[in-house]
Amino acid sequence: MTYFRRMTVISSSTAPTFDAGGTFVTGLASPSRGSREISAWRLRLAPGAASPEHALTREEVFVALSGSAVATVSGARHEVGPGDALVVTPDVPFAIANEGDAPFEAVVCMPCGGLARVGDESFTPPWAE
C-alpha cells in the first residue's frame, strides 16, 4: 500500500504575524497550519530589540538570514550572522538581541509541542500553535 501525504503550502502573505515591541514573528509551519512534527517561523528583530531571557522544553534552531544578533546562552555571548545556525538545547536560559543598526532576520524551527518558559510561566509560543 502506498501512502501519499497531502502537501501544505503556507503563504507568507496570509501567515499570522505577531509584534512584540520590535520583535516581529511570522508563523509558518505549526500544528494549526498543517505541520505534525516541526514548527517554523520567521523572526525579525529591529535594531535594539531583544527577547526576554527564556528557556524552551524542546531544542530550537535559528538560521540567520540577514543582519546580526547576539545570543546569550547560559550567560555566554555568541555572535550570530548571516548563514550561521544557533542551536539552543532544551532547558537552557537564553536571550537573543539585535545590538546592530540593521534588522536581524532568521528562520527558527522547533519540534511541535515545545513550551517556552519565562520566569514561572510556561506556554506554547502563539506562532508555534
CATH of the domain at 124: 2.60.120.10
Choose among 83, 124, 73: nearest CA to 104.
Answer: 83
pLDDT at 54 exceeding the cut of 90: yes
Query: pLDDT tens digits for 12-40?
Result: 888 999 998 899 999 999 999 989 999 99
Question: What is the chain's mean pLDDT, rounded?
Answer: 93
In a domain, 97, yes or no: yes
The 8 Å CB, 24+ separation contacts for 20-24 are 21/49, 22/46, 22/48, 22/49, 23/49, 23/50, 23/51
Q: Contact 26/15 with Cβ under 8 angstroms?
A: yes
- What pTM was estimated for this model as a whole? 0.90
In a domain, 110, yes or no: yes
- Domain carrying residue 107: 47-128
Q: How many domains does the chain have?
A: 1
CA-to-CA distance for 123 and 98, rounded, in angstroms? 24
